[in-house]
Amino acid sequence: MPDEDELVRRCQQGDLRAFADLVEQYQDRLFDLAWTILQEREAAKDAVQETFLTVFQKIEGFRGEAALETWLVAITVNQCRSRLRRQKARRLLSLEGLAPRLFCAGKQGADPAAIVDQQMQRQALWQLVNRLDDRLRLPILLYYRYGLSGDEIAAALGVTKSTVYERLSQGRQRLRQMQQMAEAGLPDLWRRESC
């Protein structure tokens, strides 16, 4: 595989083999992202296809101000957001394959009951994440599941880096509140997030 700059340069010159290499290199990661947001296989495939169509049409204008992957993630997120707006329905995020920065996997040789308990806690927490509005949910998803930096998330979502960290903080705080409410058996006040 050529390095990123070389791949972009060749794509900008109309090299179809280079574009095929770009698709091959990034399609799985972008599909995983789209599927996580949309929770529908065909919709995710369509979003990724539309992403690469957009990339093919706009690669000449790519100036490398952000990393290529960040640019691709931003296009994919925008394609998914557009689909969600059109559908006017949110789907649940994937509860599998979560990044270790948010949840630590069980240690080898750990008690099976403890592993099951950890998985149930993980699922319960992601169910809470799913109830956040996209303003808070997407930064949490991109940071904890995909390991993007604050700069990369800012570029992908079209906001400032400080806004990303503010939303991550707000999201974590909201999740703590929601978890406390659930543990106390209080009514679900955050079923419909509006801010």
- Regarding whether 104 and 60 lie in a shared domain, the answer is no
- Regarding whether 185 and 126 lie in a shared domain, the answer is yes
Q: Residues 74-102, buried b or exposed e (16+ Cβ, 10 A)?
A: bbbbbbbbebbeeeeebbebbbeebeeeb
CATH of the domain at 134: 1.10.10.10
- Regarding whether 158 and 73 lie in a shared domain, the answer is no
Q: Which residue, of 91, 119, 137, is where some domain finishes? A: 91
- Regarding whether 83 and 2 lie in a shared domain, the answer is yes
Using DSSP, state whether 55 is helix, strand or coil: helix
- Regarding whether 143 and 82 lie in a shared domain, the answer is no
For 113-158, how does the pLDDT look when each residue is reduced to its tens digit (9 = 90+)?
Answer: 777 767 777 777 777 877 888 889 889 888 887 888 899 899 888 8
Q: Which residue, of 91, 115, 137, is where some domain finishes? A: 91
pLDDT range class, residue 3, cuts 50, 70, 90? confident
- Regarding whether 134 and 195 lie in a shared domain, the answer is yes
- Regarding whether 120 and 48 lie in a shared domain, the answer is no
For the CA atoms of 127, 132, 136, 141, what is the dihedral angle to 10 degrees? 20
For 55-71, how does the pLDDT look when each residue is reduced to its tens digit (9 = 90+)?
Answer: 999 999 998 888 899 99
How many domains does the chain divide into? 2
- Regarding whether 194 and 107 lie in a shared domain, the answer is yes
Q: What is the 3-state secondary structure (H, E, C) of 107-147?
A: CCCCCHHHHHHHHHHHHHHHHHHHHCCHHHHHHHHHHHHCC
pLDDT range class, residue 191, cuts 50, 70, 90? very low
CATH of the domain at 76: 1.10.1740.10
pTM of full prediction above 0.85: no
Q: Which residue has the higher pLDDT, 94 or 171?
A: 171
pLDDT range class, residue 30, cuts 50, 70, 90? very high
